Structure 1
Amino acid sequence: METMSTRSAAVLTGTAGAARMFVAALAFTSAYVGFSAYGAATSDTRAEQITLSSRALPVTAPAAEVAPAKNGEIAVSVVADGGCARSYEARSLLVNPEPGQSMRYGWRLARWSPATKTWRTYLRGHDGFAGAERTAEWRAQISGNPGWYRVELTAGGEAVTSERFQVSC
């Protein structure tokens, strides 16, 4: 009887191995067929011709001249972004008293508060540079908040303030 149980175990072991081989072969065949179908689907060689065209538009208005930045002054100009959204660009010339050291500076867009009768911070920005001097530029966007504004620049412990300007929408 012992020989019979050994033979049954050997047959079952051989059958399990054959079943594993069959499953592996089936998986390989499925992968090959899928890959072949993918290759056939993507090997379409039709090409479409696309024609690009452009046209020249005349300049309707001359480019706005930007005044050179001056030390101790802030020039603010309006950059229309469309609709009521407007960007305001502030420029100033910064002179570093120690050109071998870096200089940090900060921008502040302040809005006049009629309730408290003070200038309140609306936006802030910081930057820095190394060298003797730099024309510093900062752009702030105001949308849907009418009122009086001004730009302040602080560098090396000193503050410079722009003229106030009004935003109407």
Structure 2
Amino acid sequence: MASRSAAVLTSGSANAAKLFVAALAFTSAYVGFSAHSAAGGPPAAVKTITLSAREVPVAEELAPAAQPGKVTLEGPAGACSGPLVARSVLVSPEPGRSVHYGWKLARWSPATKSWRTYLVDYDGFVGAEETVEWELGLSGDPGWYRVELSAKGVRTVTSDRFQVSC
């Protein structure tokens, strides 16, 4: 039995030695390849990309510029419904204090021959001046309208009149 055990032990050692030599050969090949790449082997493929852009001029302003003492309107001209945006710049008579202001949509009344309040909204700010904006929806009531902006200590500013027709 001793000879049989020795034969198995010898053949197992031989296999282990073969595996060790194979692992050593693989490791040295890997290290050699890594050193070759790091030492300035063949350059990696380079791809050049060229980006281009073209300048497109703006044809018109997106919204009318707001100015002190004037109410500008932006929205569907003559439409029965849709959003209407009124803008202006309010200058505070006392820059350190709050300013409370009110928007009013007025409708012309042919019966009384006067402007009658149709919609109102109130807001405020603190500072020397502020660009203020009011977005309102027209409800499909044809007639002549105008937007008024008022604040304490500042004169009331009105927009040009506009007609809503269906």
- The CA deviation at 1:110 is 0.1
Structure 2 equivalent of residue 9 of structure 1: none
Structure 2 equivalent of residue 97 of structure 1: 93
Structure 2 equivalent of residue 70 of structure 1: 67
Contact 1:101 1:131 in 2 (8 A): yes
Aligned-partner Cα distance in 1 for 2:128–2:136: 26
**Superposition RMSD in Å:** 1.9
Contact 1:110 1:152 in 2 (8 A): yes
- The CA deviation at 1:63 is 8.3
2:161 matches 1:164:
yes
Aligned-partner Cα distance in 2 for 1:167–1:64: 24
Contact 1:153 1:161 in 2 (8 A): yes
Which of 1 and 2 has higher RCO (CA within 8 Å, sep 6+)? 2
- The CA deviation at 1:79 is 5.1
SS in 1 for 2:135: strand
TM-score (norm 1): 0.58
Q: Which amino acid aligns with 2:82?
A: R
Equivalent residue pairs, number: 106
Q: Which amino acid aligns with 1:112?
A: W
Structure 1 equivalent of residue 126 of structure 2: 130
- The CA deviation at 1:111 is 0.3
Q: Which amino acid aligns with 1:72?
A: G
Aligned-partner Cα distance in 1 for 2:137–2:92: 28
**Runs of 4 or more off by more than 6 Å in structure 1?**
none
